[in-house]
Amino acid sequence: MQVVTQTQVRVRKMEPEDIPAGRELSRQQNWPHRAVDWEFLFRHGSGFVADADGQVVGTTLVWPFGDLGARLGMVIVSSGMQGRGIGSRLMEEALEVLADRTVLLNSTEEGRALYTKFGFKPVGTIFQHQGLVDAVPLIQLRPNERVRPIGRNDRSVVVDLDRRATGVDRSGVISAILQSARGVMFDSNNSPVGFSLLRRFGRGFSVGPTVAPDALAAKALISHWLGSKAGKFCRIDVPESSGLSSWLEEIGLPCVGTVTTMVRGKALPTSADAKVFSLINQALG
């Protein structure tokens, strides 16, 4: 008689030594995250893994931002272990940690059913643009506007602009990105009203976050980075509400995919004069 054994799966807290296994799972999904990208995400949040007889077969990470809001991401279950409720168990643990915060995530088409089950509703679309850009047209600025490098005294302004645009305090994450990223500010009438950061990510460079008062300012900030990296691989994730996807196509940076932004909870308070035009990445928003 043939004996069929059932693999035992337990969900536990993620530890630093689980990062290589998480990276391998994301690699199997054709996600571009390097080890350093995983380390950054884990260092600024926490997570859970599904462990099958000592092998990591699933992950999820969470990032609480104060008492109001949070992000959830890197939800992965290995292809050979799907259909066993592992994704649901990971989500249950993650949402228990986040309590009654408003939770945002970006979902692939395959993940939408799982997130819908836990009360998430679609609220928008993110367009992923990437590739090589050879030439970027200059953006004609309005009178008394300029793009300039970020200075030391701008760090608190960047954090505040990000808070106003997202509705949550991401000061820890933004400050950490500023330590290694390059940054530019957008000034209007000698007042800083927008910013954009450029850093290494995945296969090349990522432009984001970008926060600006309007699309023209955002284009000026983004075109500065794309122009400086002509011939290099660049990626930028933009919300549909930004209106920038068609412009990026026009300047030669194609859209290679989309994800759906979903939310569980009430809308977060954001400012009308500071809007998100590109993300840190799809996990952190």
- In the listed set 62, 82, 100, which residue is the last one of a domain according to the structure? 100
Is residue 63 assigned to a domain? yes
What does each of the 285 residues of the chain score in pLDDT, given as a tens digit?
333 335 799 999 999 999 999 999 999 999 999 999 999 999 999 999 999 999 999 999 999 999 999 999 999 999 889 989 999 999 999 999 999 999 999 999 999 999 999 999 999 999 999 999 888 988 999 999 999 999 989 999 999 999 999 999 999 999 999 999 999 999 999 999 999 999 999 999 999 999 999 999 999 999 999 999 999 999 999 999 999 999 999 999 999 999 999 999 999 999 999 999 999 999 999
Same domain for 141 and 80, yes or no, is no
Same domain for 202 and 243, yes or no, is yes
Q: CATH number of the domain that 192 lies in?
A: 3.40.630.90
**Domain housing 185:** 129-257+265-278
The residues, any chain, with a CB within 8 Å of residue 62's CB and separated by 6 or more, are 45, 46, 47, 70, 71, 72, 94, 97, 98
One-character DSSP codes across 53-76? TTEEEEEEEEEEETTTEEEEEEEE
Lookup: tokens for 4: 């069929």
Same domain for 269 and 159, yes or no, is yes
- In the listed set 45, 79, 100, which residue is the last one of a domain according to the structure? 100
Same domain for 136 and 269, yes or no, is yes
Is residue 117 assigned to a domain? no
One-character DSSP codes across 70-110? EEEEEEEE-GGGTTSSHHHHHHHHHHHHHTTSEEEEEE-GG
Question: Strand locations in 213-267, DSSP E?
Answer: 233-239, 255-264
Is residue 225 assigned to a domain? yes
Report the C-alpha gap between 180 and 71 in whole angstroms.
Answer: 22
Q: CATH number of the domain that 90 lies in?
A: 3.40.630.30
- 276 alpha carbon, distance to own chain's centre: 12
- Rg of the chain in Å (alpha carbons): 20
Is residue 40 assigned to a domain? yes
Same domain for 48 and 136, yes or no, is no
Is residue 123 assigned to a domain? no
Same domain for 166 and 217, yes or no, is yes
Q: How many domains does the chain have?
A: 2
Half-sphere exposure (CA, 13 Å, Cβ side) for 251?
Answer: 22
Q: What is the pTM for the complete model shown?
A: 0.95
Return the bridge partners of 255, or none: 129
